[in-house]
Structure 1
Amino acid sequence: MNPIADRYRVRADAFESKVAAVKAGQWENPSPCAEWNARDVVGHIVDMHGAMLRPFGRELGPAPSLRSDPLGAFRAARADVETVLADPVLAAAEHETPMGKMTAEQHIDQVVSADMVLHGWDLARATGQDDTIDPDEVARMLPEAEAIPDEMRIPGHFGPGIVVFGPEVIVPADASPQDRLLGLMGRDPNA
């Protein structure tokens, strides 16, 4: 059992179920992410899967178009990353990341795997689905969100056009852990 691969699978299953539940007329609905609609949220997740492959000189494999089949595009990207996680040599390969040197599986866990949790909320919110985040995920992610350095909130810090975290949204002191997490991640839970 590999806890990182298992965590990725659970998160990908949850995200995939949200993608599968989007109705045809909802893909253009605005999301909580400024300037992104529901399709753009899925596109970002697909793109981030590709970013996890680049350190190995790999790209995403053939896939359905995001425009015609967002679910198929996500499933194909997911399969490409799961191939890395299933290969002990690739999963343990170290490379430089914006957060320092780490293994491929650590990078996947900290970036695209965690991204699916928060962007799953965005997709659910955009398409009228249940936007409850698994409380265990909230408990795992909240301490990390509380420790986000201010420089990571500066647009372009990781390169031109790259925004990692938006400005913190202040929530009431008695807000739920999920709402505190969302606020720290630059989302207004009450919007």
Structure 2
Amino acid sequence: MNEPSDRSDLAAAWTAAAEPFTAVVESVQDWSAASPCEGWTAADVLDHVMQSQREFVERQGREVPLWDGEPEQPGQQWFKHQAAMAALAGDEEFVGQRMETPFGQSTVGETLLRFYAFDLIVHRWDIARSQGRDEQLSDAELDTVDAAVDGFGEHAYAPGIFQEPVDVPAGATRQQQVLARTGRSAV
């Protein structure tokens, strides 16, 4: 994901990553369907996305409200969650906070884009795949995933990040090759 030139660009970049994810969430018919993430349903993937964002925000001294509705309505939970995240992405004080990461000094906003917006891309594909669809990622999104995996270096395959890369056949599409780097078989 390209570095935004100012904090209003950061909010727009966050929204640009969240909107396609939201569209996939809106299309889910079976939240109990198995996802490509071993042992996880579509609902588990969505919960993981929200929980990891919520934990990150809490470590920075802010809060994302928990869902207070019916647990069988994960899509509604996402809408409330995303509204809070969008507001935080537009909060100049919040996104401008300096922080230390495993990769050096950064800001909250840069971290939101480099990791959490990237996470929306790969998990959007996971949720769509759970519904039997092959979500097509744009060239820019594939560039983002590739750059993120490169940037994570050896940390990319630490527990809780990615599975080991999977093999792809000759002639695999770029999307299949890039997702394979994250341990996902898109073939």
Q: Shorter-chain TM-score: which interval?
A: 0.7 to 0.9
Where does the alignment leave 5 or more consecutive residues of structure 1 unmatched? 156-162
> 1:33-79, CA deviations, whole angstroms, 9 ceiling, x for partnerless residues?
01100100110111122023123322221424472221121122212
The one-letter amino acid paired with 1:95 is: M
1:32-47 to 2 correspondences below 5 Å: 32-47=36-51
**Which letter maps to 2:105?**
K
- Matching residue of 1:104: 108
Tell me, yes or no, if structure 1 residue 175 matches structure 2 residue 172.
Answer: yes
2:144 to 131, 140, 153: 140
Bigger RCO of structures 1 and 2 (CA < 8 A, at least 6 apart): 2
Note closer, same or farther for the CA distance 1:104–1:141 as it changes in structure 2 (3 Å cut).
same
Q: Does 1:69 align with 2:60?
A: no
Deviation at 1:176, TM superposition (A): 1.6
Total equivalences in the alignment: 181
Segments of 4+ moved more than 3 angstroms: none
Question: What amino acid sits opposite 1:167 in the alignment?
Answer: E
Q: Residue 52 of structure 1 corresponds to which residue in structure 2? A: 56
Question: Structure 2, unaligned stretches of length 5 or more?
Answer: 1-5
TM-score, length-scaled by structure 2: 0.87
Residues 66-95 of structure 1: CA deviation (Å, up to 9, x unaligned): 722211211222122222221111111012
Q: TM-score scaled by structure 1?
A: 0.85
Distance, in Å, in 1 between the alignment partners of 2:129 and 2:102 is 29
